[in-house]
A and B are shown apart, each in its own frame.
Chain A
């Protein structure tokens, strides 16, 4: 009996784990090792990390990434908090369709999204022309290829993702809690302040950490929009490993390890917070 089980298990699990080790773990380990090597030298050193944390250029890349990701995630989640709540007010059938639409637009990211924004807000974009015709002062100087432009476009892909992550958390709020609170004399505002918001807060914070991680790792959208011209962490990493002349893969590895670690931390925070939500529901 036991032997037979192992046969089937080994036969199926071996290729599976070979691929996972080959394309997930080995590259990951190789990247970590490479991050501790100085270009052209044999031994291990902290050179790359010292470089990353002292060179203004890389610090600026990290700073820009953090700032853009933080701003876009914050605005994204603020919008989604209201929109996801509104979703729950529709009939189940409509809710399903709204989610489908949100899911569809969340696929609209990367190069196609960058392109759509160029059409809308680029130098000769639809809205750019409109703003100029209407002479709306402060919008005339709008530049899509700037810090502000990147935030605008990052918000776009954060909103549908945030809606889809927050929606199930709202569903966890039982109608009966509201009814019980009403009968005990609470106004809707009091309900939200004392029960609703404390209940969903961990979920919102968890979703925020996912959004933040998502924006930190975003490469395609920014790359398609500004190429290597704007100093962002993922773009810096891409340039360090694939640029033919300036390639410094070891330094790129150190930056990538830093990015990977911050992503893992963000995801762990999310795990922990979501456990709080689920625990309340148990």
Chain B
């Protein structure tokens, strides 16, 4: 059957041109000396990147973000993976519940979640950074759940555990020695996905902690009005990081078993 491939190529090219123009413009802006009267930048420079990486405020914000997201990720993986495993394998009749619970974060945009969290924890004395980390746990739950469950399914976790137990392994040995090594690639993919979601999170951070714990996104927001060039250097750095993360994810999902997931964006 003769399909008109040229039309499809044109459609796809235009789409990606449209999607990449804002990125390219930002990239060019981050490399230009001045660019506010002319169509093309007046000169090229790496000054903004040098400035950015010498700004202690930026380094602090970056460090805070890494601590916050990294810490949340580690705790989340340690708590979620065994729990999801135990429920799918040993209490499958509660899996339906879990699937419903996991949909809730989708129905709660950041700003709604923030309202609830503030109303319960704002006067509780718990540091708001901890509350933020807790809300991040909930935020990444859908991604982690999908990833872990798909991995468990592809490695046939139930049969593996039964085999291990018949050979004399205890439940926790079976989990750590048999299941974990097999689902690690899948967990890596959903962890990286979650990591990039948290790295770009602004709403909850801004409302819950705001200036008192300046993350990268908040730093960017505050810099927007001061220096456009510096801001674009941040955006470019951020996108390069996303690029590296996506690349690693693809590498892992090739080796592992996960396919590209549909995901909610961070808006």
Contacts and interface: CB of A to CB of B under 8 A. Distances in A.
Q: Do chains A and B touch in the complex (CB under 8 A)?
A: yes
Interface of A: 4-5, 7-9, 12-13, 15-17, 19-20, 22-24, 26-31, 34, 79, 82-83, 86-87, 89-90, 96, 98-120, 124, 126, 129-130, 133, 156-157, 159-161, 163-165, 168, 178, 182, 213-221, 223-224, 234, 237-238, 241-242, 249, 252-253, 256, 259-260, 263-264, 267
Given A23-B138, A117-B22, A120-B25, A28 B266 contact: no
Contacts of B170: 4
B12 A100 contact: no
Contact of A129 (B39, B104, B111, B266): B39
B95 to A, nearest CB: 12
A19 B117 CA distance: 13
Interface in B1-17: 1, 3, 5, 7-9, 11-12, 15-16
A34 B121 CA distance: 13
A110 B235 CA distance: 11
B22 to A, nearest CB: 4
A159 B232 contact: no
A111 B83 contact: no
B137 A12 contact: no
Task: Describe B's contact surface by its main secondary structure.
Answer: helix
Contacts of A238: 111, 114, 203, 206-207
A214 B174 CA distance: 41
A253 B103 contact: no
Best-surrounded residue of A120, A256, A267 (most CB of chain B within 10 A): A256
A215 B111 CA distance: 12
Instruction: For chain B, give the interface size range.
Output: 35 or more
Best-surrounded residue of A116, A165, A267 (most CB of chain B within 10 A): A116
Task: Describe A's contact surface by its main secondary structure.
Answer: helix
B220 A216 contact: no
Interface stretch (B46-54, B63-71, B257-265): B257-265
B265 A157 contact: yes
A256 B111 contact: yes
B86 A13 contact: yes
B19 A253 contact: no
Contact of A217 (B20, B39, B112, B137): B112
Contact of B119 (A4, A22, A249): A249
Contact of B120 (A12, A26, A87, A99): A26
17 contacts: A16-B84, A19-B134, A28-B104, A31-B116, A96-B260, A104-B243, A107-B196, A109-B265, A112-B200, A130-B39, A133-B39, A164-B263, A214-B265, A223-B202, A237-B111, A241-B115, A253-B116
Given A27-B117, A111-B202, A219 B25 contact: no
B39 A242 contact: no
A111 B120 CA distance: 27
A252 B115 contact: yes
Contacts of A165: 262
Nearest to A236: B111
B39 A126 contact: yes
B188 to A, nearest CB: 17
Contacts of B200: 107, 109-110, 112
A168 B262 CA distance: 10
A188 to B, nearest CB: 9
A161 B265 contact: yes
B171 interface: yes
B224 interface: yes
A23 B83 contact: no
B20 A86 contact: no
Given A30-B116, A163-B15, A253-B119, 8 more contacts: A19-B137, A20-B101, A23-B117, A28-B104, A103-B246, A115-B224, A126-B35, A219-B267
Instruction: List the 4 closest A-B pairs by CB distance, nearest first.
Output: A217-B109, A27-B116, A16-B83, A116-B22
A121 to B, nearest CB: 9
B138 A259 contact: no
Contacts of B264: 161, 214
A110 B238 CA distance: 12
A23 B39 contact: no
Nearest to A31: B116
Given A100-B250, A224-B224, A259-B109, A119 B19 contact: no
B61 interface: no
Given A23-B138, A119-B26, A157-B267, A253 B3 contact: no
Contact of A260 (B23, B83, B107): B107
A218 B82 CA distance: 33
Interface string B73-95: 00000011011111100110000
B161 to A, nearest CB: 11
A23 B137 contact: yes
B119 A31 contact: yes
A8 B90 contact: yes
A223 B83 CA distance: 37
A13 B83 contact: yes
B113 interface: yes
